[in-house]
């Protein structure tokens, strides 16, 4: 595993506020990229313990061959601060990852904003709190933005970047460029409840739970269906390209049956009906949610098959994660 070159350019120093599940993983990422990191948690003792955990988990990752050996030294070099003011005073990027409690976020963002340099960019890792509301807690809202990472942050590439109405476009560009430079895949999305990922993820979770409650399958069986059926495609394609490849007319018909049996939450939206009416039924007609030339369509289907075969082979090679069973 090759060590990343030391990060060049912005940010020169980061403060991670809240060293729990997310903050610690993000701190590991920043440190592994060769960025100076200052860490702080609720008390000096919790901060010291968190630093110990950070070094141990990085060692574990290095022992498993998942990160370069040098990452351990970089984790050891992470600095700790006794409080927010001590962490943010000399950095140009502040990453807030304290628990999802609006009162606590207000207190922490207010302290960050008061103690950080004027030009520091402050981001919140909130999963669901409106970014516009949080931006009211910082003195310079133009330099504040949502930055939603996913667990485990060391490995999950996607990050939602959620500007508030006041966020300066230059700040958004800078955050996107920075995330790309450390190997992440940022997408700028709007400030709605749960943004994009959690809204979709929770819709999936609720239907999964309903299937269990209605006795269709156990939790383990639902997980198997999700992973091995439609979930198998998700590393490569999202819902729009998947539905384009299946046929939007098929989706419309299926949704009509689901609505009949399960109610209005499955009503086919007008935007879908319109596409079908216009004959834009997906790859088979050359256009659906996306447009495809004949050559692109052929390439898409071939690359799809190549990727599915490669994923199938990878899953065969990996030992199954045979952990946990349905609770009686």
Ligand X SMILES: NC(=O)c1ccc[n+]([C@@H]2O[C@H](COP(=O)([O-])OP(=O)(O)OC[C@H]3O[C@@H](n4cnc5c(N)ncnc54)[C@H](O)[C@@H]3O)[C@@H](O)[C@H]2O)c1
Interface residues toward ligand X, by CB under 6 A: 17-23, 40-42, 46, 97-100, 104, 108, 125-127, 148-151
Give me the residue label for tokens 């140009």.
92
Q: Which is nearer to ligand X, 108 or 171 (CB)?
A: 108
- Where residue 34 falls (left for φ over 0; alpha for ψ -120 to 50; beta otherwise) is left
Least separation in angstroms between CB 122 and ligand X: 14
Give the residue closest to ligand X by C-beta.
20
Residue 47's nearest CA partner among 11, 78, 71 is 78
Is the CB of 98 or the CB of 121 nearer to ligand X? 98
Nearer to ligand X, 39 or 275 (CB): 39
CB closer to ligand X out of 141 and 146: 146
Task: Report the alpha-carbon distance of residue 69 to residue 39 in Å, rounded.
Answer: 21
φ, ψ of residue 165 to 5 degrees: the values are -55, -35
Tell me whether residue 18 or residue 282 sits nearer to ligand X (CB atom). 18
The CB-of-40 to ligand X minimum distance in angstroms stands at: 6
Q: How far is the CB of 179 from ligand X (least distance, A)?
A: 15
Q: How far apart are CA 185 and CA 110, in angstroms?
A: 29
Choice between 23 and 186, CB closer to ligand X: 23
Q: Which residue lies nearer to ligand X by CB, 39 or 120? A: 39
Would you say 149 or 178 has its CB closer to ligand X? Answer: 149
């Amino acid at each position: 595993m090759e060590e990343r070159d030391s990060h060049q350019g912005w940010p020169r120093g980061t403060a991670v506020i809240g060293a729990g599940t997310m903050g610690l993983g993000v701190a590991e990422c920043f440190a592994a990229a060769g960025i100076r990191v200052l860490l702080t948690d609720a008390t000096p003792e919790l901060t010291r313990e968190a630093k110990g955990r950070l070094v141990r988990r990085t060692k574990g990752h290095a022992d498993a061959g998942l990160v370069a050996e040098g990452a351990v030294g970089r984790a050891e070099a992470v600095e700790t601060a006794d409080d927010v003011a001590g962490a943010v005073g000399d950095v140009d990027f502040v990453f807030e990852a304290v628990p999802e409690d609006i009162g606590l976020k207000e207190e922490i963002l207010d302290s960050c904003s008061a103690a950080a340099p004027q030009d520091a960019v402050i981001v919140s890792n909130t999963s669901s709190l409106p970014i516009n509301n949080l931006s009211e807690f910082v003195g310079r809202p133009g330099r504040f933005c949502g930055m939603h990472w996913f667990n485990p942050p060391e490995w999950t590439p996607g990050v939602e970047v959620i500007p508030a109405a006041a966020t300066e476009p230059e700040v958004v560009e800078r955050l996107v460029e920075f995330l790309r430079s450390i190997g992440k895949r940022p997408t700028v999305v709007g400030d709605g409840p749960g943004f994009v990922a959690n809204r979709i993820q929770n819709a999936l979770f609720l239907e999964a739970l309903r299937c269990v409650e209605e006795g269709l399958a156990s939790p383990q069986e639902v997980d198997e269906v999700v992973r091995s059926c439609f979930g198998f495609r998700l590393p490569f394609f999202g819902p729009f390209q998947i539905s384009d490849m299946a046929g939007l007319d098929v989706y419309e018909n299926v949704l009509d049956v689901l609505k009949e049996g399960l109610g209005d939450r499955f009503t086919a939206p007008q935007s879908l009906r319109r596409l079908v009416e216009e004959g834009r039924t997906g790859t088979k007609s050359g256009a659906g949610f996306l447009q495809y030339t004949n050559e692109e369509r052929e390439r898409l289907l071939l690359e799809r098959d190549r990727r599915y075969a490669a994923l199938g082979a990878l899953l065969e090679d990996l030992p199954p994660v045979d952990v946990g069973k349905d609770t009686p």
